[in-house]
Structure 1
């Protein structure tokens, strides 16, 4: 059998889509209680297989999108594997926006697994991303045991929490100088891109939005999901500094009735953040608030008179990261603590140029540098561990105890922690 790994031609796109779970009605996620889902069931219902008309609309849209880079595996001319990268920018520590290849929609036909097709597609995507000047790759792992073998490791996380309304009292604070307003979806579509751009500039791990990111905002209901509602906060000058999207889904059971689900909330100011939550936590005819896909270090907990009232009910990794060009990536982020470390990488089979010892130097007020060195390494770090460390949300101590970081000089592990860790933790508000 002859195997090819290459981008699909335009006339092969329908066959390409039919490999993918979202197009053929198969599960897209582990059958667990997902942290990104606000409902009581384990995961949202699967879609019906896409029609030929839908496949053609996707093909037309992707043909016009320069950020979409599909790749496929063909055996004797039949498409048996499919994946793609989307070109994003991601905010890294220090606020720089770094080009990133977002791997999405990946599958191999059940009849053709365990033959190296996924590795071949991943290698092709890494090589193409490097040619485009993207030193990072990221993805959402539909199954936690798959992507570590390609050098990925969790970099951002998300939690689903809930709070009973009668326990949601906030600590006293100064009166809100701004104002709140319920708005229609068309207004939210207009306002959200500019607000997200401000949030993204200061939130490590946040992404540039997809071209249609907010096109689906609607005032209508989705089955039993309840009608969407959109809430805006404006500061005392009338400028938008916060937005939230929520719904009140119908439930056939008393246990889940009266639940308000906050699907998204972004704010650029603490007063706006507090004001949005104050209203959502005291909405008439509700008894519970559920917020999926929130940061692990949600500030709301510290606003509550009873911090225990906010219960984390689900938690998982979100985006996994992989450094494709170690020196370029390490030089693009900044480091809160100045220092110098010689970091050895010796296990990267897919991007072999990363193997070697790299001297990372960060000084106060100056750009970081990362260059090859003959110096004895202070630490050896696995490719996967670098992905977790890069955005500042992982513990160097934990990775060392797991055998993924090995210190060779006294104090090197503490220096690694001080240089790489960020506060607040990295977070991204949407996936791809």
Structure 2
């Protein structure tokens, strides 16, 4: 029987999951310190293989979810490759929300690698996303050298940083007009979606929430790490406008004892943000604070009397972006006023992207349409993905040969039109 790439049937979902590393207790990240992990070790311990009961629960949770779009590769009837796209919205420059296919949990059995299964699954997901009206695809890459060949480019970054409590002095500021409250997991589950929705509306690169994202928050201990704690900030009117999840593990060594790990923190305004960090950086019985999956341009640094106190210990890319529909994607974000003619060449997986496109913006509305004639520059599909959210330097991409200018000043114009401040950031991977 010939190899086949298609969505798995319900009765094939157990075999589908068994291809994926997380269902088998196998590594899910390259052997490098992970910026999404707050512990002293490079990454968390691997989980035990999923039981049949867990697989049954995943089938019930996933298969009928309209936002979950699995695809599998079958060879002689056996499932040998698996992936999925999740339907999201991503906030783009200008504040709009663009439909996006979030590619997740991708693997091919080691015995069936280098046979084109991954490319065929990726092509199937691209085609299906376009049919659903999703002009973008994004993913978080477990290895940095795989996805550029499919037209993805790094678009956001994340860092892990540390501050010794004794160095965490803040510059003077007006008193906090709101209030802080330690809450239980039930209240945190109620407040997180409210805060996330406010933050997402204003943050370029942020994603709509995964279904059930906060459902598993609990007050129970997590092994030897101790339970998560929850710190809530309310505005003067009593509205939740900031929240943090943190834990205080005692650590297995003297060096790590008294380390407070901030697992997540979001705030809808600067006063809430400062108030949350002020308390977290001065908790009793702590010596050091570690935060992970944080923005590369964290504003906290500029609130400290000593900006060097915040030491970045790990950094990695987070979202990789891929334009499936060039005019459909480019016309949905805002730019600085200007005009550019951009050529895209060599997109084998989305050939309709190949051509010359005139991008126009008056600073408020924008348009992108096919044109004839010479282009101001040629951009590779991966470079266009990196540029899309406005966080990457067109100059650096041109220096690396990912952008070829054909007109004087075209790279500077591209950079000026596309860049955003602050940098795009997304608070979670998928």
Sort the TM-score into its range (normalised by shorter chain): over 0.9
Contact conserved, 2:182 with 2:232, CA < 8 A, in 1? Answer: yes
Aligned to 1:371: 369
1:276-315 → structure 2 map (5 Å cutoff): 276-315=276-315
Equivalence map 1:90-129=2 (5 Å): 90-129=90-129
Partner of 1:340: 339
Query: What pairs up with 1:10-409 in 2 under 5 angstroms?
Result: 10-335=10-335, 337-365=336-364, 367-409=365-407
Structure 2: distance between partners of 1:33 and 1:277:
25
1:123-180 CA-partner distances (Å, limit 9, x unpaired): 0000000000000000010011111100011001000000000000000111111110
Q: How far does the alpha carbon of each residue in 1:351-409 deviate from its partner, in whole angstroms, 9 at most, with x for none?
A: 000000000000133x2100000031001000000000000010000000000011111
Please report how far the alpha carbon of residue 7 of structure 1 lies from its aligned counterpart in structure 2 after TM superposition: 0.5
Cα separation, 2, equivalents of 1:225 and 1:156: 29
Query: 1:187-226: CA deviations, max 9, x gaps?
Result: 0100110111010000000000011000111112101122
Moved beyond 6 Å, runs of 4+? none
- SS of 1:205's equivalent in the other structure is coil
Q: 1:364 to 1:28 in 2, by over 3 A?
A: closer
Counterparts of 1:308 and 1:55, CA distance in 2: 47
- CA shift, 1:237, in A, is 1.5
| Contact in 2 for aligned 1:342/1:375 (Cα 8 Å) | no
Task: Kindly state the Cα deviation for residue 64 of structure 1 after the two structures are TM-superposed.
Answer: 2.0
Number of matched pairs:
430
On the 8 A contact 1:152/1:320 being kept in 2, the answer is yes
Distance in structure 1 (CA, Å) of the matches to 2:250 and 2:57 = 32
Check conservation: 2:334, 2:363, Cα contact below 8 A. no
SS at match of 2:74: strand
Deviations 1:30-68 (A, max 9, x none): 121100000001110111111111111111111220000
1:270 to partner: Cα distance: 0.6
CA distance in structure 1 between the aligned counterparts of 2:356 and 2:104, rounded to whole angstroms? 31
User: CA–CA distance in 1 between the matches of 2:125 and 2:74?
Assistant: 15
2:255 counterpart SS class: coil
Gaps of 5+ in 1: none
TM-score if structure 1 supplies the norm length? 0.99
- For normalisation by structure 2, the TM-score amounts to 0.99
Aligned to 1:428: 426
Q: For the residues of structure 1 that align with 2:107 and 2:252, how far apart are their CA atoms? A: 36
Unaligned runs of 5+ in 2: none
Structure 1 SS opposite 2:44:
coil
C-alpha deviation, 1:410, in angstroms = 1.0
Shift of 1:250: 2.7
